[in-house]
């Protein structure tokens, strides 16, 4: 899963490089004819990896294009990806790690560590606090994230405070 713009840029670069590698493989008639099994394994491997990365790119682009005022339906493939729901919701709602920390009464460093380790280092209570702040819940068998008014107001407050702090720094 792509978690930020840097990972997005790196993944997009890999997708492009793999596209060029696939094109080169397709043009390699000598390898295709002389060692077709090895060629096919190599081709299938690169094509499969590129497709996986392209799906991650597409998912991230959908998340960053999401209107944060609207709820979002989130999907995961297995329970092992449960923590991805929190990261996806944060990205879709355009909430920074610092802002999420404020909403949950954690430090920015705690949120960063949680996300870096896919919430494996978070307690169940910490996980629930983040899920609650992001409005992640199960409805009709689907994971839905919807920021409620309380957290929207807290978010607006921290953004206003950060804006005022930035203006004061610029003025001095």
104-116: per-residue pLDDT in tens?
A: 999 999 999 999 9
Over the stretch 147-161, which tens digit does the pLDDT of each residue have?
888 998 999 999 999
Chain length of the chain: 172
Q: What is the pTM of this model?
A: 0.81
Give the tokens for residue 45.
């491997």
Which of 27, 59, 55, 65 minimizes the C-alpha distance to 43? 27
CA 70 – CA 133 distance, rounded (Å): 15
Describe the strand order of the beta sheet including 136-139 as a list of residue ranges.
72-74, 142-145, 136-139
DSSP letter (8 states) at residue 141: T
Beta strands in the chain (DSSP E): 72-74, 136-139, 142-145
Exposed/middle/buried for residue 60 (C-beta within 10 Å: 0-12, 13-18, 19+):
buried
- Say yes or no to pLDDT of 30 above 90: yes
């Amino acid at each position: 899963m792509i978690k930020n713009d840097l990972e997005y840029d790196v993944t997009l670069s890999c997708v492009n490089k793999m596209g060029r590698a696939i094109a080169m493989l397709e043009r390699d008639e000598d390898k295709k004819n002389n060692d077709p099994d090895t060629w096919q394994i190599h081709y299938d491997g690169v094509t499969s990896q590129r497709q996986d990365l392209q799906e991650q790119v597409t998912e991230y682009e959908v998340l960053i294009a999401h209107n944060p005022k609207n709820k979002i339906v989130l999907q995961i493939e297995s329970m092992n990806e449960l923590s991805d729901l929190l990261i996806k919701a944060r990205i879709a709602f355009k909430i920074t790690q610092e802002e999420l920390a404020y909403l949950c009464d954690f430090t920015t460093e705690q949120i960063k560590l949680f996300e870096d380790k896919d919430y494996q280092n978070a307690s169940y209570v910490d996980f629930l606090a983040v899920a609650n702040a992001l409005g992640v819940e199960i409805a009709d068998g689907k994971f839905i994230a919807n920021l409620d008014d309380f957290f929207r107001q807290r978010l607006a407050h921290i953004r206003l405070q950060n804006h005022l702090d930035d203006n004061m720094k610029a003025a001095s």
